[in-house]
Structure 1
């Protein structure tokens, strides 16, 4: 088994400074190359990379393993030409020495891009990254920054919000003070995290295409979604009006009253949207699946239950009056709650029953076929 210990120089600094053509292979040739490069530029980290290659080859030979130490470099006017020249040099070394594996020695993030080229030709047992001890922290920071700045998604996710925040910070500090400035920056950071965490950007990127496809395919849900959005806005508007007119400082009462006034309209909006989805499913397929069919019943049941509980609590706080039936009988708060809860359960059970019946009919049709 013969292992290639290869020192990679993608920028071809070693070849230019030593005046030699790469690849250079063999212990004596690389050992002499260290002196030539060191005399040409003692501060070049390539000297350490060459010495590390010699050390690794020596250690392998001490372990009774056959090792060939070599240096390859990129030659070309473009990155593609450089990488192709490195690939050609590797092919030449493999053909000359009949190699089985490789250990790659590099001293920069740029040289690390050659690793896949080596890996495509030989199994890589190790990648030895040489970092000069005096500049260890600087070199490590450079690697991290280079990798970070090379990722377009990370730049747009982190640097853009950070830049906006830094631009707004002086204005907020001078106009509103440090508390408002910190609160605004925290809100901006939270909005960015939610935006990426909930994948809102991906949803927005495909929303226009989905809407266009829905319009071209004649889906009923497009119209029902628009109607549902209008009904939801009406519900929110009526809830806001109810909260504005009430004379109380209790937050929970405002929340309950807002929910009580808006829930019927929000439930109607959800019912409209789900009905459109059911119609689309019915038109586009031979039958309806159970989740789509049960959705309108579930929405209506939830709306009834929420309306009942919010009405019960508001009646206990004397915000609402007792519910009067058509025959003139007034219901107590607990009776009112019971009627809404029971109605919700009945609607839910009705949905389960209809769904089960439709499923049985579908199974019967499949069995007949």
Structure 2
């Protein structure tokens, strides 16, 4: 196996300072190149890269490996022409020396952009980046700042908010107090960080694209989603009315339980309507139904029952709601007297009914398994399409 130890020079510093054309191949040729580059510019870090290339090649030869030492440079016209020049030279080396792997030596972030070109032609076993020891911290900081300033997304994400903060803060401080200005600035920055941290922009973009595709394709789920959103708003409104009607709203747990108890039925109804729209879309398109769509209505009702059961339990314990009164029932000659269902028994009934619905959903879905597909199968089909 023949390995290529190659020193990458994207900006053609070698050709500009020595007048030589690349590729330069061979131990003696590269060692002579070290002297030429060093005499032309003793402060150039390329001298260290060339010496590191020779050191790596010598270490591999000591391990009885066949090594080809080479220096590859780009062109100065443009980055595209530089990369294409490097690609041509690598193709020439591969065809001439029957290479199988490569060890890459470089000294800058610009040279690192050539690594994919090498990887497309040879297996890269190692990447050796040379940083001059006397200026390691300064050079690393310089390359980091250069890479940061070259990334448009990072500039817009960090520099723009910082610049706006520096501009707005003096105005707010002159119009209001210093503390109020600082509080307003930190609030805006906090909202922005949460917005970027949760990728709200990407989520909104994906939702807009999906909604537009759904509208253009005439899907029933568009209407059901709007209805579901309206039912959710009704649930929030009803929950808020329930909280405002509490006589003693001290603390936070009791208002939360009241809000959940009043809002859950509407939210569950919204989820049912949305899932019904998805089922109708799948049925209309005559495509195999996904099992998750069939299970979703049962899961929604079961979860809604459990959540409402627990919230009702806490509310009844605090005396906000009364126990359930079961009226007398006559079955033939047998009469069951009326009785009250306390909080613990009510919770047990809700949980048992939820479990029963879950089991019914699983059984029903398994019986309707013909013509349905699992989520994993759906993902595989989507990837293959």
TM-score bracket, normalised by the shorter chain, equals 0.7 to 0.9
Aligned-residue offset at 1:10: 1.6
- Give the RMSD, CA atoms, in angstroms: 4.0
Q: Give deviations 1:304-351, integer Å, cap 9, x for gaps.
A: 444344334334333335656778x9965x436645753664476357
- Per the normalisation by structure 2, the TM-score is 0.74
The 8 Å contact of residues 322 and 331 in structure 1, kept in 2 or not, is answered as: no
Q: Give deviations 1:233-254, integer Å, cap 9, x for gaps.
A: 1221122233234343222121
Aligned-residue offset at 1:255: 1.3
**Cα distance in 2 for residues equivalent to 1:147 and 1:359:** 55
Q: Give deviations 1:207-237, integer Å, cap 9, x for gaps.
A: 2232233334443332222122112212211
The 8 Å contact of residues 26 and 68 in structure 2, kept in 1 or not, is answered as: yes
Show the counterpart of 1:265. 266
**Cα distance in 2 for residues equivalent to 1:259 and 1:318:** 16
**Cα distance in 2 for residues equivalent to 1:288 and 1:102:** 51
The 8 Å contact of residues 323 and 342 in structure 2, kept in 1 or not, is answered as: no
Aligned-residue offset at 1:5: 3.5
Write out aligned runs for 1:122-141 (5 A). 122-141=122-141
Aligned-residue offset at 1:189: 3.1
**Cα distance in 1 for residues equivalent to 2:192 and 2:110:** 35
The 8 Å contact of residues 324 and 342 in structure 2, kept in 1 or not, is answered as: no
Aligned-residue offset at 1:277: 3.2
The answer to which of 42-51 and 303-312 deviates more is: 303-312
**Cα distance in 2 for residues equivalent to 1:323 and 1:345:** 17
Show the counterpart of 1:50. 50
Show the counterpart of 1:192. 196
Q: Relative to structure 1, is the Cα distance of residues 132 and 288 closer, same or farther in structure 2, using a 3 angstrom cutoff?
A: closer
Q: Are 1:335 and 2:338 an aligned pair?
A: no
Write out aligned runs for 1:1-369 (5 A). 3-62=3-62, 67-93=67-93, 101-148=101-148, 171=172, 174-176=178-180, 185-186=189-190, 188-193=192-197, 195-196=198-199, 200-246=200-246, 247-285=248-286, 291-321=292-322, 332=340, 334-335=341-342, 338-339=345-346, 342=349, 345-346=352-353, 349=356, 352-353=359-360, 356=363, 359-360=366-367
**Cα distance in 2 for residues equivalent to 1:288 and 1:24:** 63
Q: Secondary structure at the match of 1:110?
A: helix
Choose between structure 1 and 2: higher helix proportion. Answer: 1
Q: Relative to structure 1, is the Cα distance of residues 256 and 113 closer, same or farther in structure 2, using a 3 angstrom cutoff?
A: closer
**Cα distance in 2 for residues equivalent to 1:265 and 1:290:** 24
Q: Give deviations 1:147-204, integer Å, cap 9, x for gaps.
A: 55556666666666666666666648835265676566445434432x13xxx54443
Structure 1 unaligned segments of length 5 or more: list them.
365-369
**Cα distance in 1 for residues equivalent to 2:296 and 2:100:** 63
Q: Secondary structure at the match of 1:14?
A: helix
Q: Secondary structure at the match of 2:363?
A: helix
**Cα distance in 1 for residues equivalent to 2:288 and 2:34:** 78
Aligned-residue offset at 1:136: 0.9
The 8 Å contact of residues 5 and 68 in structure 1, kept in 2 or not, is answered as: yes
The 8 Å contact of residues 305 and 354 in structure 2, kept in 1 or not, is answered as: no
The 8 Å contact of residues 257 and 315 in structure 2, kept in 1 or not, is answered as: yes
**Cα distance in 2 for residues equivalent to 1:52 and 1:354:** 67
**Cα distance in 1 for residues equivalent to 2:4 and 2:358:** 71
**Cα distance in 1 for residues equivalent to 2:202 and 2:104:** 39
Q: Relative to structure 1, is the Cα distance of residues 209 and 23 closer, same or farther in structure 2, using a 3 angstrom cutoff?
A: closer
**Cα distance in 1 for residues equivalent to 2:272 and 2:101:** 66
Q: Relative to structure 1, is the Cα distance of residues 281 and 347 closer, same or farther in structure 2, using a 3 angstrom cutoff?
A: farther
Q: Secondary structure at the match of 1:126?
A: strand
**Cα distance in 2 for residues equivalent to 1:348 and 1:185:** 45
Aligned-residue offset at 1:92: 4.3
**Cα distance in 2 for residues equivalent to 1:71 and 1:96:** 15
Q: Relative to structure 1, is the Cα distance of residues 307 and 165 closer, same or farther in structure 2, using a 3 angstrom cutoff?
A: farther
